[in-house]
Amino acid sequence: MLYQRSSALFKEAEKYIPGGVNSPVRAFKAVGGTPIFAKSAKGAYVFDEDGNRYIDYISSWGPMILGHAFEPVVNAVIAKAKDGTSYGMPTEIETKIAKLAVEMVPNIDKIRFVNSGTEACMSAVRLARGFTDRDKIIKFAGCYHGHSDSFLIEAGSGAVTFGSPNSPGVTQNTAKDTLMAIYNDIDSVKTLIEANANEISCIIIEPVAGNMGCIPPKKNFLKQLRTLCDAHNILLVFDEVMTGFRLAKGGVQELYGVNADIVCFGKVIGGGLPVGAFAARDEIMQHLAPLGSVYQGGTLSGNPLAMAAGLAMLETIAEDQELFKRLADKTEYLHKGCAKALNKHKIPHVINREGSMISIHFTIGEVVDFKTAALGNNERFKQFFHGMLAEGVYLPPSAFESYFLNDALSYEDLDATIKAVEKVASTL
By annotation, the residues acting in catalysis are 144, 239, 267
* CB of 62 closer than 8 Å to CB of 404: yes
- The answer to the question of residue 401 lying near ligand PLP (CB under 6 A) is no
| Closest distance of CB 122 from ligand PLP, Å | 9
Q: Which region, judged by CB under 6 A, interacts with ligand PLP, from 95-103, 182-190, 239-247, 339-347?
A: 239-247
Member of 144, 381, 400, 403 binding ligand PLP (CB under 6 A)? 144
Number of residues that bind ligand PLP (CB under 6 A): 15
The smaller minimum CB distance to ligand PLP, of residues 209 and 425, is found at 209
Q: Which H or E run contains 185?
A: none
Q: Which of residues 71-130 bind ligand PLP (CB under 6 A)?
A: 116-118, 121
- The answer to the question of residue 249 lying near ligand PLP (CB under 6 A) is no
| Closest distance of CB 148 from ligand PLP, Å | 9
The smaller minimum CB distance to ligand PLP, of residues 23 and 157, is found at 23
Give the HSE-up count for residue 120: Cα atoms under 13 Å, Cβ half-sphere.
33
* CB of 192 closer than 8 Å to CB of 205: no
| Closest distance of CB 240 from ligand PLP, Å | 7
| Closest distance of CB 119 from ligand PLP, Å | 7
Q: Which H or E run contains 119?
A: helix 117-132
* CB of 107 closer than 8 Å to CB of 260: yes
Give the whole-angstrom CA distance, residue 315 versus residue 387: 38
- The answer to the question of residue 241 lying near ligand PLP (CB under 6 A) is yes
Peptide bond into 168 cis (omega under 30): no
Member of 49, 177, 206, 369 binding ligand PLP (CB under 6 A)? 206
Give the whole-angstrom CA distance, residue 363 versus residue 360: 9
The smaller minimum CB distance to ligand PLP, of residues 244 and 387, is found at 244
DSSP 278-340: EEE-HHHHTTBTTTSSB----TTTT-HHHHHHHHHHHHHHHH-TTHHHHHHHHHHHHHHHHHH
List interacting residues with ligand PLP (CB under 6 A).
116-118, 121, 144-146, 206, 210-211, 239, 241-242, 266, 276
